[in-house]
């Protein structure tokens, strides 16, 4: 769960350090006081979009730090290990800084991280429901994604989408081959000739390097012979040769060292030099004896180098890139060859369609029971949300042709009254009904989500009275197993919370800043009374607020 949140210079927050508890927590306050700002800051820490406008006016940057419990989910632990993120005794410390220019930097447990990594990690940490989330539920794609998530089939749905694309690609390849048969044949003939030309060259990068070294030796053969002869002359074969002189001086020093032992070290050094000179003379003679001038071999090598360089220039690549070019052309030629075979293309279409339909049928089998269960759960919730007799269904409309979404279309349908036939959610539900049904769906589906922290940002807009109290109880029940944070304007919802904060605006140093007060005892009664009665709070209002809190605790 979320333990702490530190916010510096974010919108109208100068510095806030908040400690969060378990269960259901309500964030309340006047409109514009900054309630949603706290959740926005958390969203930024979890990889949300950052902008320079988020930095408090007059400041260089904003910094947000979130400390959370590390989930023990095996996939999360494996991901952290793969990313090389250090373990901090079961905690995750996420820090993100955004400058006034909109540039941001991020860290996870002190290790630099990308925004993409923050978003990946957030999947295991928190699930945020925005205040207009229910509006998305009237569209087909969000409905399908929600059902697949509820069915635990999100990965399978991705597999179906990939299989569908592979099938469509195979169809396009088959149809395109027929339409572009002549052009493909010309390209295939050209590639076949080019592949043959490069294959006949038989280019080997290792042999190419050795060939250039050999060419260097043969091309400079005269200079090498003359140089070797000159060194042999000076080292051991001419008048005053170095090796001969070293031997003589070593013998003389040996005689002197017998008289004065202090010369023994000098004698040893000179003896070593004489031995080294002798070995060098021996090796140089062997080299000279093997060194030959071979004009015929030189011409052969120069011909091979010219052939390779000529082909490399022709295709505008370095000689070392020729093997890669051959590999690319060979793969393309094989693809064109397959594309020119109608039977092979037809077999690929059959294979990919079968793979798609197999995966799609498995997805359909997972969706059917999940659709029934979700329909029953939302229908039951509707009875307590002032929609007695209403019915919610998740319709699976067959789509025999298939799509990336599977073999059926997912459609949320609702009947506001028992005698009505369910129809599409967006065409039947009023604004208030949509808010209530949407909230019920979000709460019900959140029970299946693995994330330990659930955040609801004013999702109770459009409801009130007894319905609001029911919503508060739903969130309280949800908080029994998860950490639930909710920004709300409704006293009936706030009264059900395990703990409550009041967010307000204050003036300090000619600046408007957001502050947070932890409410307890009389302070919480006063805040619930404000939410009930507005500006003027009477004794009756306070008594009503105290009664609401007492009833919620019972």
Neighbours of 552 (CB within 10 A): 19
In CATH, what number is assigned to the domain containing residue 121? 3.40.50.300
CB of 218 within 8 A of CB of 301?
Answer: yes
185 versus 468: the higher-pLDDT residue is 468
Tokens of 69: 């419990």
Tokens of 432: 């208030």
pLDDT of res. 182:
61
Residue 329 falls inside a structural domain: no
Cα(291)–Cα(406) distance, integer angstroms: 76
pLDDT of res. 146:
87
Beta pairing partners, 500: 26, 519
- Of all residues in the chain, what percent are helix, strand and coil, respectively (each to 5)? 60, 20, 20
- Whether the per-residue pLDDT at 135 is higher than 70: the answer is no
Neighbours of 144 (CB within 10 A): 20
Residue 24 falls inside a structural domain: yes
Q: Which of 70, 11, 141 is nearest to 426 (CA)?
A: 141
- Whether the per-residue pLDDT at 134 is higher than 60: the answer is no
| Residue matched to tokens 């005892």 | 521
Instruction: Tell me which residue range forms the domain holding 484.
Output: 1-125+451-470+478-519
pLDDT of res. 87:
81
The mean-pLDDT minimum among 158-162, 179-183, 539-543 falls in 179-183
Residue 52 falls inside a structural domain: yes
Residue 256 falls inside a structural domain: no
pLDDT of res. 403:
94
- Whether the per-residue pLDDT at 183 is higher than 70: the answer is no
DSSP string, 27-42: EE-STTSSHHHHHHHH
pLDDT band at 277 (very low <50, low <70, confident <90, very high): confident
pLDDT tens figures, 10-55: 988 888 888 999 999 999 988 776 777 888 899 899 998 888 889 9
Cα(439)–Cα(434) distance, integer angstroms: 8
pLDDT band at 462 (very low <50, low <70, confident <90, very high): low
DSSP state of 479: T
540 versus 290: the higher-pLDDT residue is 540
What residues have CB less than 8 Å from 164, skipping those under 6 apart?
Answer: 356, 360, 402, 403, 404
pLDDT of res. 94:
95
- Whether the per-residue pLDDT at 408 is higher than 90: the answer is yes
pLDDT of res. 207:
80
Count of domains for the chain: 1
pLDDT band at 104 (very low <50, low <70, confident <90, very high): very high
- Whether the per-residue pLDDT at 238 is higher than 70: the answer is no
Residue 243 falls inside a structural domain: no
495 versus 437: the higher-pLDDT residue is 495
When pLDDT is averaged across residues 183-190 and rounded to a whole number, the result is 73
Dihedral in degrees, nearest 10, Cα atoms 339, 342, 343, 347:
60
- Whether the per-residue pLDDT at 477 is higher than 80: the answer is yes
When pLDDT is averaged across residues 537-549 and rounded to a whole number, the result is 88
Q: Where are the beta strands (DSSP E) in 70-103?
A: 91-99
- Whether the per-residue pLDDT at 252 is higher than 80: the answer is yes
pLDDT, averaged across the chain: 84
When pLDDT is averaged across residues 170-191 and rounded to a whole number, the result is 73
Residue 31 falls inside a structural domain: yes
Residue 491 falls inside a structural domain: yes
pLDDT of res. 497:
93
Percent of the chain with pLDDT over 70: 89
- Whether the per-residue pLDDT at 399 is higher than 70: the answer is yes
CA distances from 543 to 243, 344, 526, 535 (A): 116, 81, 10, 16
When pLDDT is averaged across residues 226-244 and rounded to a whole number, the result is 73
Q: Where are the beta strands (DSSP E) in 275-378?
A: none
Helix (H) or strand (E) holding 249: helix 242-259
- Whether the per-residue pLDDT at 484 is higher than 70: the answer is yes
pLDDT of res. 529:
92
When pLDDT is averaged across residues 243-248 and rounded to a whole number, the result is 80
- Whether the per-residue pLDDT at 449 is higher than 70: the answer is no
Residue 495 falls inside a structural domain: yes
pLDDT band at 136 (very low <50, low <70, confident <90, very high): low
For the beta sheet containing 104-108, the strands, ordered from the edge strand earlier in sequence to the opposite edge, are 13-19, 2-10, 61-69, 91-99, 104-108, 111-113
């Amino acid at each position: 769960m979320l333990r702490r949140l530190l916010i510096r210079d974010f919108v109208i927050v100068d510095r806030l350090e908040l400690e969060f508890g378990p269960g259901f927590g309500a964030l309340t306050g006047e409109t514009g006081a900054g309630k949603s700002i706290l959740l926005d800051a958390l969203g930024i820490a979890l990889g949300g979009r950052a902008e320079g406008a988020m930095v408090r006016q007059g400041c260089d940057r904003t910094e947000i730090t979130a400390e959370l419990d590390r989930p023990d989910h095996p996939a999360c632990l494996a991901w952290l290990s793969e990313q090389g993120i250090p373990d901090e005794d079961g905690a995750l410390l996420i820090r993100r800084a955004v400058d006034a220019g909109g540039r941001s930097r991020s860290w996870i447990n002190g290790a630099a991280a990308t925004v993409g990594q923050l978003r990946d990690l957030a999947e295991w940490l928190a699930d945020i429901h925005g205040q207009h989330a229910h509006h998305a539920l009237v569209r087909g794609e969000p409905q399908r994604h929600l059902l697949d998530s509820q069915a635990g089939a999100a990965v399978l749905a991705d597999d179906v989408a990939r299989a569908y694309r592979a099938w469509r690609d195979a169809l396009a390849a088959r149809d395109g081959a027929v339409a572009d048969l002549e052009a493909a044949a010309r390209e295939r003939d050209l590639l076949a000739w080019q592949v043959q030309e490069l294959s006949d060259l038989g280019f080997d990068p290792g042999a190419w390097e050795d060939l250039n070294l050999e060419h260097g030796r043969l091309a400079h053969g005269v200079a090498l012979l003359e140089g070797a002869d000159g060194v042999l002359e000076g080292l051991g074969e001419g008048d005053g040769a170095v090796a001969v002189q070293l031997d003589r001086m070593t013998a003389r020093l040996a005689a002197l060292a017998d008289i004065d032992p202090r010369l023994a070290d000098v004698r040893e050094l000179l003896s070593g030099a004489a031995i080294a000179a002798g070995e060098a003379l021996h090796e140089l003679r062997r080299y000279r004896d093997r060194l030959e001038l071979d004009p015929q071999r030189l011409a052969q090598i120069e011909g091979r180098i010219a052939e390779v360089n000529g082909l490399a220039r022709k295709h505008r690549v370095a000689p070392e890139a020729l093997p890669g070019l051959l590999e690319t052309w060979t793969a393309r030629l094989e693809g064109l060859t397959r594309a020119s075979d109608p039977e092979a293309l037809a077999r690929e279409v059959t294979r990919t369609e079968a793979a798609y339909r197999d995966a799609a049928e498995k997805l359909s089998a997972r969706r059917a029971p999940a659709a029934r269960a979700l329909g029953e759960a939302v229908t039951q919730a509707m009875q307590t949300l002032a929609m007695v007799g209403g019915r919610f269904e998740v319709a699976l409309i067959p789509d025999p042709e298939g799509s990336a979404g599977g073999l059926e279309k997912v459609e949320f349908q609702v009947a506001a009254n028992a005698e009505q036939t369910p129809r599409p959610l967006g065409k039947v539900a009023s604004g208030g009904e949509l808010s209530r049904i949407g909230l019920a769906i979000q709460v019900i589906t959140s029970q299946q989500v693995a994330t330990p922290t659930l955040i609801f940002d004013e999702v109770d807009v459009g409801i009130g009275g007894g319905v609001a109290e029911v919503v508060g109880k739903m969130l309280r029940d949800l908080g029994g197993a998860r950490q639930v944070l909710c920004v709300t304007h409704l006293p009936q919802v706030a009264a059900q919370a395990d703990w409550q904060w009041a967010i307000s605006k204050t003036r300090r140093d000619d600046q408007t800043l957001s502050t947070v007060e932890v409410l307890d005892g009389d302070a919480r009664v006063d805040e619930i009374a404000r939410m009930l009665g507005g500006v003027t709070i009477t004794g009756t209002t306070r008594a009503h607020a105290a009664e609401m809190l007492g009833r919620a605790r019972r």
